[in-house]
Structure 1
Amino acid sequence: MVKIGTMLTLEYDHEQEEIQRFRCRIVEQKGAILYIDYPINTQTGRTDYFPKGTFFSAYFVGKDQAVYKFHTEIVDRKREKVPMLLLRFDQNELKKVQRREYVRVDANLDVAISDPNDEEKEFTTVTKDVSGGGISVILPEGIQIEPTTALDLVIVLCSKDDEIDYIFARAEVIRTYEKTKESKKILSMKFINIYERDRQLMIQYCFETQLKERRQLLSR
């Protein structure tokens, strides 16, 4: 299933920070160890430092166009002509991600947000990432929203055929955070009320985005 040259997406999730995503390629495999080139941050385009024991969720698209997931950690480094990281890989833990599950992708979609209990908290912004289970958005300056607050959302979803769908949902605030003191705050939310049709449109958008990214990487 996992072959040399396969592109991996690594997700690093820290409670106090945003989810960070990295792209890398499998260079070699020896038993239960995958050798990968140094992961590149999808936001900054740079490589980051990862100590041994760093845990990731790893995703890749198989030949059947399905998305597969496994949990892994860095077990060592190897310095050769191409510096590599060594990842633990257990074939038995490999899981096919069903389309009903919530794959998260980076996306800049327009979204209107309002608080049904506070008419003054109404604003428009753009998403940072989206999934079938929720979204993260850039929080405009001067706006403060507490965790567990319920918000009404209207998301402008553009499909691959340039068709526009409007996704209506109610979401609960999970947290707000900022990567650095200079960066803008990010508001993370989970859907608590959304039409199933709209959720499926979000999931389809995420899978189409992943496939597009895979084709672009393979064409380089």
Structure 2
Amino acid sequence: MIKIGTILTLETSDDDEEIKRFRCRVVEQKGSSLYIDYPINTQTGRTDFFPKGTFLFAYFVGSDQSIYKFYTEIIDRKREKVPMLMLRFDQNKLKKIQRREYVRVDASLDVSISDPEGKLETFTTVTKDISGGGLAVVLPENIEIKSGTPFDLVIVLRTKDKDIDYIFTRAESIRIFELTKEAKQLLSMKFVDIYEQDRQHIIQYCFETQLKERRQALENKN
């Protein structure tokens, strides 16, 4: 289920019950233990100190595009060329928290759109929303696009730990619709040629955005 290189989102709370969220990668797995690189705080972009016995919730996106979580504990530290933490991992206690067909989240990301046939000048705009299957972008004025038209996209994906991923993909226009409140047009597009690793980066971005929205909703209720 968990492969080497899988991105984990870890959550813990301090004495004030403030939720802290971290990102890390699975470096190695041995039996019921996972070895991860040092987690990066998604707010500060820095590592924190994780003593043995720290309990955490871990989340990741599976190969079936579902989100899984498990309760874990830091059981050891391993000092090699890359410092690692050892997590307790029982695959039998994995819990699927969502079955979905590419969750779509609101996102304002920079994107460059170019016509591979050169009939339309390259233009830059921002996304309205995005998912692992496609996106919707704000369409500049005086641009007419027919459905089924292919475009080459460069999406600037800004992750929570301040990293920037440039996603190069080909997408196909689906339809144009009006965004009434903003008096703008949106163009919805689906990915037709994308590296699976890039799709996983987008899915992870959507996953982390969704987690943040859920936490904020719960805090507002309280």
TM-score between the two structures when normalised by the length of structure 1: 0.55
- Closer, same or farther in 2 for the Cα pair 1:156/1:181, shift >3 Å? closer
1:169 aligns with 2:175: no
User: How many Å apart are 1:179 and its aligned residue?
Assistant: 3.4
Measured against aligned partners, the alpha-carbon deviations of 1:64-108 in whole angstroms (never above 9, x if no partner) come to 86769xxxxxxxxxxxxxxxxxxxxxxxxxx9326xx41100000
User: How many Å apart are 1:120 and its aligned residue?
Assistant: 3.5
Q: Which amino acid aligns with 1:103?
A: V
| Gapped regions of structure 1 (runs ≥ 5) | 1-62, 69-94
The aligned counterpart of 2:202 is 202
The aligned counterpart of 1:152 is 152
Give the ranges of 4+ consecutive aligned residues of structure 1 lying more than 4 Å apart after TM superposition: 63-68
Q: Secondary structure at the match of 1:206?
A: helix
Measured against aligned partners, the alpha-carbon deviations of 1:92-148 in whole angstroms (never above 9, x if no partner) come to xxx9326xx411000000000001112533100000000000010000001111100
1:96 aligns with 2:88: no
For residues 102 and 146 of structure 1, the distance between their equivalents in structure 2, rounded to whole angstroms, comes to: 25
- Closer, same or farther in 2 for the Cα pair 1:182/1:214, shift >3 Å? closer
For residues 200 and 216 of structure 1, the distance between their equivalents in structure 2, rounded to whole angstroms, comes to: 24
The aligned counterpart of 2:135 is 135
Identical columns (%): 63
Measured against aligned partners, the alpha-carbon deviations of 1:135-181 in whole angstroms (never above 9, x if no partner) come to 10000001111100000000000011010000000000000110339
| Gapped regions of structure 2 (runs ≥ 5) | 1-56, 60-65, 69-96
For residues 96 and 125 of structure 1, the distance between their equivalents in structure 2, rounded to whole angstroms, comes to: 31
For these two proteins, the number of residue pairs brought into alignment is 131
Q: Which amino acid aligns with 2:99?
A: V
TM-score between the two structures when normalised by the length of structure 2: 0.54
The aligned counterpart of 2:213 is 213
For residues 120 and 149 of structure 2, the distance between their equivalents in structure 1, rounded to whole angstroms, comes to: 14
Q: Which amino acid aligns with 1:177?
A: F
RMSD: 2.4
For residues 207 and 190 of structure 2, the distance between their equivalents in structure 1, rounded to whole angstroms, comes to: 19
For residues 144 and 207 of structure 1, the distance between their equivalents in structure 2, rounded to whole angstroms, comes to: 33
Measured against aligned partners, the alpha-carbon deviations of 1:26-60 in whole angstroms (never above 9, x if no partner) come to xxxxxxxxxxxxxxxxxxxxxxxxxxxxxxxxxxx
User: How many Å apart are 1:182 and its aligned residue?
Assistant: 6.5
